[in-house]
Every structure is written in C-alpha cells, then in structure tokens.
Amino acid sequence: MNESPKTSILKAHDLKKHYTLKAIFGSEQKLKALNGVSFALGERQTLAVVGESGHGKSTLARQLMGLETPDSGSITLQGRPLSSYSKKELQSLVQMIFQDPYSSLNPRKKAWEIVAEPLRINTSLSGKQCLTKALEAMEMVGLHSGMGHRFPHMFSGGQRQRLGIARALVQRPKVLICDEPVSALDVSIQAQVLNLLGRLKEEFSLSYIFISHDLHVVRHLADRVAVIYLGKIVEEGDAEEVFDSPLHPYTEALIRSAPSFYEKSRFKPMRGSPPSPVSPPPGCPFHPRCPLAEARCSKEVPGLELKGSDRRIRCFLV
C-alpha cells in the first residue's frame, strides 16, 4: 500500500482557478476550472489525476508547470513556493510530456536540436555539449543516437513521443508532468511508452503527475490516484485500493465505463454527460448522474472527508 507521502516533493493547497468568459452580448460568466484542489506528491511517487475531459486536469498541469498562476491557494516544490523559482530553475526541476507528440515537436528542427532545446535556453553549455547530452538522452529513451539528425516526420508516433520524453529528461528534472502522454498512440505502442516511463522513474528517481482520462493506462503506473470532477477532487487514495474498491460513485462509474477493466458483462457506460463547468449543478455536482443520489445531494455540498488513514472521499453516503 502506498500511503500519502511523508516527504513531498510537490504540494498543492486549495488551488482555485476561475476563468472569465465573455458571452456574445457582453455578459460575463465564470468557468471554475479548479475549485479548491489539494494534494501532495511524494518523492519517487506517481500520482494519477483522472477524470473526464473538461474537469480541470490540464488547468492543473499548467499551474504546476508555472505557466499560469492560481487565483488562490499555493504550490510548493521541495518546500519552496513555486512562485519563488526563476523560470530557468523551475524548468530544470519540472518538465512536461505532452499529449500530442507531433504538434509539440518543431518540424523544421533536427531531433537532437529539439531534445537539446531546454539546455540551449536554460544553460550556458556549448553547442557541442548540448549535442552530446541530447544524444545521450535519446539513447536513454531507446532511440539510437544515429537518429539525431533526422526530422520529426521521419519518426513513428511512438518514437516521436520518445523524443518528447528525451527533451523532458535532458536536464535531469525531478518531476515530470505527463499530460495524457499515450492517448494519441496506438494501444500496442502505449504499453511500450508506459513501460519506458516506469523504467525511467526507477532509473532517475523521478516523481510523476500522470494526467489521464483512461483508468486502464493509469492502473499500471500509479501509486496514488486523485479522481477529479468539475474542478474538485472527489476521491483520493492508494491506487490499488481505489481500483479494487472505489468508494465514490463517480470513481466506480469511471472504472466500470473503461471497457478494458472488466468482462463485457460488467461494462456499464457512464450516465448522462458531464455538466458545464460554467453552470455546475447545485449541491453535489455529480448528483444529476449519480445512481445513489438522495434529496439532500441536490441541495448540500459534500466536503472531502478522510476515511481510514489516508483515503479522502467527497460523498454524503461514504
């Protein structure tokens, strides 16, 4: 069992991020992308953040990378506020792997130049030193250094994602934010990239935030899981426990609606569509889709309660 971390490398406390949207006739609406998210990522841990699209996962990734600042709440990295790091310092410690390996690679640059880019921007290494380190990083992810002079279109989808991983690793960061890193790949290639990420985590003592809508993907890699719905964590705990005995109705529905988990007889599609984050339902935001909803669920908002030593659930019935 993976307990919530005692030595955290990355911590988020009560993060809120609301965007103002302008409607056609000039009125404004608030999109509550993150609505009080807290978690701690332990050293060498993988925390999976799962949920359907549009529930705040990518907003969270941008906050953790320092690309956007939260409206309120705090993020600390190695015990220091994220905002106290310079851009260069932050990039040497935290890097991101993107969903679409092709659009994140400059098509006019050679593979080694793409991988070396963080070194060129953030360090004073010479061109020759950058080349050497980039080719080393390519070898680390299983790409032959002889491929360094090829352009991105000459690589397969899986190889392009490996290039993205090499670029993220070239400065030897401590934390990788993986934003749906295999969802654009064929299933057979997904397994290879996930195995690679698992190996690299051990080899370089990395910590991962692994963002995904696909529980099947997350199950093989995660130590802990945080399930997010409309910008709030609804369940968080040890990955094995969450998968084996989900307590929140949304977690259970997510697991059952991932066909690769259960035999066909147990597959059950999720009820209804996700509500808009611009006008979330009152009370428990999951109540219009929840098979267990009671009268109070549409009026009162459940808090995130501790259950046992390190499981957190946001539901009146648990």
Q: 6 φ, ψ to 5°?
A: -90, -35
Pick the piece of the chain touching ligand SF4 (CB under 6 A) from 85-93, 139-147, 148-156, 288-296. 288-296
Q: Is 316 in the site for ligand SF4 (CB under 6 A)?
A: yes
What H or E segment, with its residue span, contains residue 255? helix 249-256
Cβ contacts of 123 within 8 Å, gap of 6 or more: 171
Q: Is 286 in the site for ligand SF4 (CB under 6 A)?
A: yes
How many residues contact ligand SF4, by CB under 6 A?
12
Residue 67 or 317: the one with the smaller Cβ distance to ligand SF4 is 317
Cβ burial 110-147 (10 Å sphere, 16+ → b, else e): bbbbbbbbbbeebbeeeeeebbebbbebbebbbbebeb
* Shortest Å distance, C-beta 229 to ligand SF4: 9
Q: Is 302 in the site for ligand SF4 (CB under 6 A)?
A: yes
Residue 162 or 287: the one with the smaller Cβ distance to ligand SF4 is 287
Closest CA to 138 of 94, 209, 200, 192: 200
- 306 burial level (CB within 10 Å; 0-12, 13-18, 19+): exposed
Distance between CA atoms of residues 241 and 217, nearest Å:
16
Distance between CA atoms of residues 7 and 94, nearest Å:
17
Tell me the sheet residues that pair with 34. Answer: 17
Q: Is 293 in the site for ligand SF4 (CB under 6 A)?
A: yes
Check: CB of residue 122 under 8 Å from CB of residue 194.
no
Pick the piece of the chain touching ligand SF4 (CB under 6 A) from 75-83, 129-137, 214-222, 291-299. 291-299
Q: Is 210 in the site for ligand SF4 (CB under 6 A)?
A: no
Q: Binding pattern to ligand SF4, positions 218-257, x when CB under 6 A?
A: -------------------------------x--------
SS3 137: helix
Residue 292 or 306: the one with the smaller Cβ distance to ligand SF4 is 292
Residue 105 or 284: the one with the smaller Cβ distance to ligand SF4 is 284
Pick the piece of the chain touching ligand SF4 (CB under 6 A) from 23-31, 40-48, 89-97, 282-290. 282-290
Residue 32 or 289: the one with the smaller Cβ distance to ligand SF4 is 289
* Shortest Å distance, C-beta 317 to ligand SF4: 5
Task: Report the residue from 255, 290, 311, 312 that binds ligand SF4 according to the rule CB under 6 A.
Answer: 290
Check: CB of residue 195 under 8 Å from CB of residue 142.
no
Residues that bind ligand SF4 (CB under 6 A): 249, 284, 286-287, 290, 292-293, 297, 302, 315-317
